[in-house]
Structure 1
Amino acid sequence: MVVSLFRWYNGRLAARPLLTQAVTTSILFATGDITAQQLVERRGLEKHDLTRTGRMALYGGFVFGPVATTWFNFLARRVNPSNKRLTTMARVACDQLAFAPVMIGVFLSSMATMEGGSPKHKLEITWWPALKANWMVWPFVQMVNFTFLPLQHRVLFANVVSIGWNSYLSWVNNQ
C-alpha cells in the first residue's frame, strides 16, 4: 500500500508539481498543529482549536508550499559550486541565512495577521528565539535533504520533518 501511495504521489508530482507540493504542505502543516495541540499542549479533542489548525493549513498550502518548492528549484538551478560537498554546504548556507530568517518572519507575521494581532509585536518577541531554534535543527536536516533526496522529494522530506517543527512553531506562535 505504501509503495502504491508513493507511486500515486510521484504521478501527481510529475503532472502538477506546484499544486501537489502545496496540498501536501497544507496537510502536513495542519498535522503539525494537531500534534502541537494534542501531544504538546494536551488540549484534548473537546478543546482543539480548529481555526488555528485551519490557519496552519492555509499558510502551508498557500504560502510555504509554493514558496519552498520555488526556493528548492532555485537552489538546484543556481547554487552549484564545483563539487558535491561544496554544493550541499552552499545550499544549506543559503537556506539558513536567507530563506529561514525570512520565512520565519513571514510565518509569524502571517499568523499574527490571521489572528487579528500585531505582526510587529509578534516578530519582536518570537522571531529571534524561533530562528535560533531553527538553527539547532534545520542545517542538519537540509544537509541530508540536499545530499540524498532528489529535487522532487525535497519539499516532502522537509514537510515530514516539519511535523515536529511546525508543532514547535505553532506552540511558539500561541504563547
Structure 2
Amino acid sequence: MLSSESLEKIIGISQIITVQRNNYFVKENDICNYIGIVKSGTLYSYFEDSDANMIVNELYNKQSIITSYRSFLNEIPSPAYIKAYSDAEIYAIEKKTYKELIQYQEWTLIFKEIADELFINKCFKETSLIKLKAKERYLTFIQNRSCIEQDFPQHLIASYLKIRPETLSRIKSLDLHQDNK
C-alpha cells in the first residue's frame, strides 16, 4: 500500500480517467500510456491463451496501482487486457508527465514506491502459485485482499488463483462446514 503522502501527491497531479463497465483501460497490443491508482470501481487484467481462454492475471479494486507496467515503461505493446468489471475511475499519470517528474528526487522516490509494490505483488503471487495448494492460495489471497470477494465474481477470482471455479466453490463450502463445527 502506498503511503498516504505519496497517494496525495499522485492525486494532486493526476487526471481522472473513467472506464465504463466492460470497456478497457488498455487492450492487448496497445501501448499503455498511463500508470494510476483506482479511485473507485473494479478492473481486471487478463491474457488469452492459444484457445482464446481468458486467464486473469490481476484484480484491481480501490487504491490498487493499475498499469501494464512493462508496456508503460518501455513503450511497447501490452501483453494483456485491462478491463473494467464495474464502472471505474482512475487517478492517472500520463507517460509524458511521468518522464518530466522522474527527474525530481521526490518523484523518483514515489515512483520507486510504486515499482516496489508492483514487484512485491508479482513475487507474492508467483511464490504462492509455486508453493501453496489451492486452499492455501485462496485463504492467503482473501486475507491479504480485503473486500475482494465482494468486488469480483467467483470465476474471475478462481482464474486469478489458477484453479477451476468448481474447486473454489468446494474450498469455500468446506470452510463454511468447518466453521460451523
TM-score, structure 2 as length reference: 0.25
- Which is helix-richer, 1 or 2? 1
Query: Relative contact order, CA 8 A, sep 6+: which one is greater?
Result: 1
TM-score, structure 1 as length reference: 0.25
Please say which structure displays the higher CA radius of gyration. Answer: 2
- Which is strand-richer, 1 or 2? 2
